Amino acid sequence: MLYDIHGNLPALEAVLADARAAGAQRWLLGGDYSGFGAWPRECVELLRELPHATWIRGNWERWQASPRDAPDVELVQRSIRYACSALGDDLVRELAGLDQCVSLDGALFCHASPQSDMRGFLFEPADDEDELLAGVGVRRLVVGHTHIQFSRTADGQVELVNPGSVGLPFDGDRRAAYALVPDAGPVELRRVEYDVEAAAAAVRERLGAFAEPTALRIERAAFEV
């Protein structure tokens, strides 16, 4: 389960190598494939080579097709323009047309929550968690968006899993994050070393000075920089 790649090709390559070595045969791709990173198209093209892959849409796929829906912030808007230029109009439309949630093998997979591609779950339950879980009738709910890897029980019965972010973790651990679902046993949360400095340097080189906060977030594995 690969979420929140954000155009970070070295992180994606490291995760794919680790997952293949562990025997992964199917792939769940959880959205936010291109935005912020230095390799928007390269990441999408690599993902498109995966066999038996199921894709869902993140907020960035929606924003790339409709930038007016995104925050009016220079970092966000210029990152959208960079990603869209790399992807091209056809691919931008294709990614925006993906489903927000999919059900597979008794589990529900969403980008942030079943209710929204922006309102997500935190490491600890928040005041609106009951609302976000409304109508969820599955044993396992897999979400991303917050870039913080965790697994816990929600509402006393739902296994809530966040595989973390492949390309932009915000939990203080710079390693790329993802999760495996074995044939038997619990979900396995995994972390993989990759060349963090190269990814940050590429953001600075390709996107320019406006993207310095993104480069720092890669280096520090934190949202606040």
pLDDT tens-digit readout, 157-176: 899 999 999 999 999 999 99
**pLDDT for 184 beyond 90:** no
Is residue 76 within 8 Å of 70, Cβ to Cβ? yes
**pLDDT for 185 beyond 90:** no
Phi-psi region of 172 (alpha: psi -120 to 50; beta: other; left: phi over 0): left
Is residue 3 within 8 Å of 163, Cβ to Cβ? yes
pLDDT tens for 34-51 read 999 999 999 999 999 999
Tell me how far apart the alpha carbons of residues 155 and 114 are, in angstroms, rounded to a whole number: 15
Tell me how far apart the alpha carbons of residues 65 and 15 are, in angstroms, rounded to a whole number: 27
Task: Tell me the HSE value of 61 on the side-chain side, using a 13 A CA sphere.
Answer: 28
Q: Determine the pLDDT at residue 135.
A: 85
**pLDDT for 108 beyond 90:** yes
Which positions ≥6 away from 42 have C-beta within 8 Å? 9
Q: For the chain, report the end-to-end CA distance as a whole number of angstroms.
A: 27
Average pLDDT in the 128-132 region? 91
Tell me how far apart the alpha carbons of residues 95 and 78 are, in angstroms, rounded to a whole number: 19
**pLDDT for 137 beyond 90:** no
The residue behind tokens 């390269």 is 42
> Which CATH code for domain 9-101+167-220?
3.60.21.10
Q: What percent of the chain clears pLDDT 90, i.e. is strictly above it? A: 92
Average pLDDT in the 199-210 region? 98
The residue extents of the domains of the chain are 9-101+167-220
